[in-house]
Amino acid sequence: MSRKIALATLDAADRELVEMAGDESRHAYAPYSGFAVGAAVRTRSGKTYTAANLENASYGLAICAEVAAIAAANAAGDFEVESIAIAGHKFKLPQDSTQVVTPCGRCRQVIFEAAQVSETNVRVFSCNGDLSEIVESTISELLPAAFGPANFGIDAAWLKMRETLHAAVTKLRANRSR
Ligand code: THU
């Protein structure tokens, strides 16, 4: 079950992750909703990646903070996601920072995919704007009975396939410099 926890009771690493998410909401590009979301991902390496929501005049193209943060970890070649923190608040007047922001459905699916790669039941910290309310969950709690790589019978295939990808890119590079 999801658990309500206080910032002060988190260990140093989790507290830092939650605070990073709160601070990251500063980078939201959200002229349409007036709602800012920050996300911070921690990977097995201990590194962290942050991102904020990125909206578009074509409303449906908005990129959520969680998706952008997970994409940043992947872009750094560091996709073994272990934890993610999310914090959001309405900054458009009248402001409201009281509501805990849990990942939207698409974000849950994206977190689930990352969880399959890291073989970790990713921990999710959902927070309100001033971090006075934090709910800790796991991705399997937030997205039970998920559709994922197992449906294709490729559970652990990616790690091997990634080696093939890296070898292919190395070969392409070698051919290019000849
Ligand atoms: N948003 C996120 O960034 N993450 C979520 O999980 C919920 C929604 C963003 C998308 C949009 O820019 C704004 O919040 C309002 O929906």
Q: Which residue would you say has higher pLDDT here, 141 or 160?
A: 141
14 in Cβ contact with 6 (< 8 Å): no
Dist. CA 22–CA 39, nearest whole Å: 8
Q: Comparing C-alpha atoms, which of 11, 72, 9, 62 is closest to residue 40?
A: 72
| Centre of ligand 1 from the C-alpha of residue 53, in Å | 6
36 CA closest ligand 1 atom index: 14
Please tell me if the CB atom of residue 65 comes closer than 6 angstroms to any atom of ligand 1: yes
Which residue minimizes the CA distance to atom 3 of ligand 1? 64
User: What pLDDT is stored for residue 178 in this prediction?
Assistant: 66
User: What pLDDT is stored for residue 60 in this prediction?
Assistant: 97
Q: Write down the pTM of the prediction.
A: 0.96
Give the tens place of pLDDT for each residue, 9-65. 999 999 999 999 999 999 999 999 999 999 999 999 999 999 999 999 999 999 999
**How would residue 159 be classed by pLDDT, with cut points 50, 70 and 90?**
confident
Which residue minimizes the CA distance to atom 1 of ligand 1? 64
Give the tens place of pLDDT for each residue, 74-127. 999 999 999 999 999 999 999 999 999 999 999 999 999 999 999 999 999 999
User: What pLDDT is stored for residue 1 in this prediction?
Assistant: 77
Please tell me if the CB atom of residue 54 comes closer than 6 angstroms to any atom of ligand 1: no
Kindly tell me if the per-residue pLDDT of 70 is higher than 80: yes
| Centre of ligand 1 from the C-alpha of residue 161, in Å | 32
The CB density around residue 61, as the number of other CB atoms within 10 Å, is 9
